[in-house]
Amino acid sequence: MGQIYYGLSNFPDIVILDKTYENKSRKSIKIKEWKKLRGCVEVKNLNHRLITEEEIKSTLSNSFEHLTREMGQLIGDILWYKKVIYTNGIQWRFLSLDDNNEMNHKILKVVNNRIKLEDGKNTFDWWNQIKDLSFNYTDICLSKDCRQEWNEFVKRVKEIEW
């Protein structure tokens, strides 16, 4: 049942769904259902250092060489959910993927291949399937320390269009 939530790399901490989304078992995912995933929230430990924008760009420019599990999880969330709030509870960032039809079809194909392969209890190396994919995303700091900037932080979160 959760294949659509798992996407490329993981099941995030919180999934933000369209009001019309129907939670049902699927053997494959279609664009129409995928678009009803509005975004996700990835929460790390309070003392955990968040991956920086520079580290993401470096990983992408090196075709995913030396990809860590955590980096793969975050990039997978960006590509699948397109809108990601990434936080350790103090620092908050909003990562948003530029929409691109060609890329969407490639990502969906990779995810559907993962579903088929993992149905047989095999593992799936998704990043090798997309390492040549080019995409743009925005990385916005919502708050470096929400304890000090609470009102501004809340205002920025409210401005997000899911």
Confidence (pTM): 0.88
Q: What residue ranges do the domains of the chain occupy?
A: 3-158
**What is the rounded distance in angstroms from the CA atom of residue 114 to the CA atom of residue 98?**
23
133 vs 124, residue with greater confidence? 133
Which contacts (CB < 8 Å, 24+ apart) does range 133-136 have? Answer: 133/103, 133/106, 133/107, 135/79, 135/97, 135/98, 135/100, 135/103, 136/97, 136/98
Alpha helices (H) along the chain = 3-6, 31-34, 53-61, 69-81, 101-119, 126-130, 150-158
**What is the rounded distance in angstroms from the CA atom of residue 46 to the CA atom of residue 71?**
18
36-71 pLDDT per residue, tens: 999 999 999 998 999 999 999 888 887 667 788 899
Percentage of the chain lying above the pLDDT 90 cut: 59
DSSP-derived letter for residue 89 is S
